[in-house]
Structure formats: structure tokens, C-alpha cells
Structure 1
Amino acid sequence: MNATQNNSQWQFLYTLKNALLLNAELYDNACNTPLNNQLALTTVILAGVSHALGNIFILLINRAAIYLLLLALLIDVVSIIIGYYVWTLTIWKVGQWIKSKDPKFNNLLSPIGFAYAPQVLNFLTLIPLLGRPIELVLALWSLLAVIVAVTQALDITTRKAGFICLIAWPLIQVAVGFIQVLEQKVVQFTS
């Protein structure tokens, strides 16, 4: 491993830590660095993989076939990524309606991607009896992070940012829950 790779890893961990701590400065400066789009997407992908790991444990208990485990992994990761883009698109469209100056879609991708940092801990949902409560806490933590990100990215009040973020958040939570139930039903059906 060379020094550049090591520096990139430390930068990513530092960014992840600041995102988890809801550091407003991180979200405010997220659009100013070209590397941040890549770091934000990496955060979202890690969140998807972490979510999938939590779900795969449940599928393993149900003795799912290996092809179903791989399919579930792919579906989980892709659904988190799609949810990220849908949520960003919703925030962007509502932000255009609220702001007199149109925000740019690309300027929202990094801050909202960093707001997915709490979801990187989603693998903890495999803890028996605590999985669902942990998942809810992480979802609320991400919601708070997105509110901070939107407040900074759109330069609006926290109340307006909360309103904007709450428009699509319940739909995304229902969609994620639906995908989890669907995966479990498919495993039960094929077993």
C-alpha cells in the first residue's frame, strides 16, 4: 500500500467520523471538493452492503440457498443506492420550490451521501431481539444527518430542511421494509 492510498483511507475514515457526528462543516464543504462525490457514493455503497449483511444473517437462519443469498445481497445494495438517488431527487425538487435560487442536483449528492454514514453500522441489526430497534435508531440518525446536510447545502433553516427531508423519508423506509419482507417470503417459498 502506497502513501496515497493510506492517505485516502484516513481521509475517508475522518469524513465518515465527521458524518456520524453530524458535523455541519463537513456538510457545508461537501460540494467544494471533487473527491467528495466519490467518497459520498462509497459511503452509500458501504451502507447498502452493511444493510445486506444484516439481512443475510436472517436468510441464513432460514437456510436460504446460496443463489438467494447473493440475489438478496444485490437487491439490498441496489435498493439502498436507488433510495439515495430518489431521496436526493425529492429533496432537490422540493428545494427548487422553496429556494429562490435553484440548487443544483449534483451539489446535493455529496452531503446526502455522507448522511448515509450511520447506515454503515446497519450490520448490527443481526443482534437477536435488537435488530429492528437498531435499524430504527440508525434510520432516525440518518434522517437527522440528512436534515443537517440539507440545511447546509441549501442554506435554509433547520425547520425547512426537516420538512423537505420528511417528505420522502417515510416512503423510503416503507420500501426498504417491503424489500426485507419480500426477501424473507421468497426464501420461505423456496425452502
Structure 2
Amino acid sequence: MSSEESKISLGTTLWNALALDGNFYENARNTPKTYRIAQTIVILAALSHALGSAVILLINLATLPVMLLALLIDGMSIVGGYYFWTLTIWKIGEWRKPNHVTYRDLMIPIGFAYAPQVLNFLTLIPLFGQPLERVLAVWSLLAVIVAVRQGLDISTRNSALICLVGWPLVQLAVGFIQRFEQFLVEGF
């Protein structure tokens, strides 16, 4: 293992990803353990989102089975959104620049770009939950735009256009899941 590889840690990766460092995203796929770190960030983002939802479900006195079901769906929506968004970006990238990068090559920087979502547990702060959730979503969008720009070696404008294809769909799905959780709590 080289000294550069040993410097890669979850904390350093989160910090560089949150800072929207273009060089970090460009070099992200060049180290062996980055895939595992990227997947860890996505899982932490899902757990953070579920934690914020859990507090809201507890406040609304959700029953244990309803809460467990809602949290499972909540966490899976974040992970599923990551795979869906990466797939849409990769497919459009393949159309624009065939055989330029693999799906796995994009999974790493886009996984890193989910770093702002690790802070999603902060959405449980009264009165700041929804606005903070929107800020974190836009921050992730900006991070993905930087990651795709570096990964596909395209302009920022083209990267933004590619990323904006799947992002609204992911946001709608997460919003739908939140409404579904409300329905579960109110229905039981």
C-alpha cells in the first residue's frame, strides 16, 4: 500500500467531498479502497436520514412495527436513489462519451458526493428540518455536478444538465417516501 493510499480515511474523504474539491473527485477512482469508503458514505447518509425520520416518527407516537417499516423504506430510498441517479448519469455519459468510464468508476465519486447527506440527522431540529433538508439536497447536487464534471471530463454546464435529469426524480421519490411515512403513522 502506498503512502497516498494509507492517507485515505473516511473523515478525510468526507471533508474533501463536503468542500467540493474538484481534484479530490478527479483522483477518487484511482485508489483501491475508495469504493468501500464511497459505499460507507451512502450507508451513513441512509442511516442519518432514517435517524431524522425516527425522531419525527417517535414524536408522532408511531407503533414499533410501523416505525421499523418506515425506517427500512426510508433508508432504502436513499440507497436506491444513489444507484438510480448514478445509473442515469452513467447512461447519459455513455451516450455522450462512449466507453469513457464504467458504472463503477462513477459510483465512487457520486458516493463521495453523498457526504452532505451524512448530516441529514440535523433535520430533526424544530423549524429547520425542511429547509436544512433542501440545503443538504442542493449541496449533494453540487457535489455530484463536480464529481461528474471531473469523472466524465466535461464542462460544468454539461455536467449540471446530466445531473439534473435524475436529481428531481430522486427528490420526488424521497418526498413520496416521507408522505408515505406520514400516512402509515396516521393510518395506524
Q: TM-score scaled by structure 2?
A: 0.94
Shift of 1:155: 0.6
After TM superposition, list the pairs within 5 Å mapping 1:130-141 onto structure 2: 130-141=128-139
1:128 alignment partner AA? P
Corresponding residue number in structure 2 for 1:169: 167
C-alpha distance in 2 between matches for 1:167 and 1:92: 11
Corresponding residue number in structure 2 for 1:187: 185
Alpha-carbon distance change, 153 to 10 in structure 1, aligned in 2, over 3 angstroms: closer
Corresponding residue number in structure 1 for 2:157: 159
Corresponding residue number in structure 2 for 1:102: 100
Shift of 1:8: 7.8
Alpha-carbon distance change, 31 to 9 in structure 1, aligned in 2, over 3 angstroms: closer
Corresponding residue number in structure 2 for 1:13: 11
Aligned residues: 184
After TM superposition, list the pairs within 5 Å mapping 1:74-113 onto structure 2: 74-113=72-111
Which ranges of structure 2 fall in alignment gaps of 5 or more residues?
Answer: none
C-alpha distance in 1 between matches for 2:115 and 2:167: 16
1:55 alignment partner AA? S
Corresponding residue number in structure 2 for 1:3: none
With 143-152 and 93-102 compared, the bigger mean Cα shift is at: 93-102
C-alpha distance in 2 between matches for 1:157 and 1:66: 48
Shift of 1:10: 7.6
Q: Secondary structure at the match of 1:108?
A: helix
Shift of 1:24: 1.1
Q: Secondary structure at the match of 1:128?
A: coil
Shift of 1:102: 3.4
Identity across aligned pairs (percent)?
60
Shift of 1:56: 1.2
Which ranges of structure 1 fall in alignment gaps of 5 or more residues?
Answer: 1-6
Q: TM-score scaled by structure 1?
A: 0.92
Corresponding residue number in structure 1 for 2:142: 144
Corresponding residue number in structure 2 for 1:4: none
Corresponding residue number in structure 2 for 1:36: 34
Q: Is contact 2:100-2:152 (8 Å) kept?
A: no
Q: CA RMSD in A?
A: 1.6
Shift of 1:101: 4.4
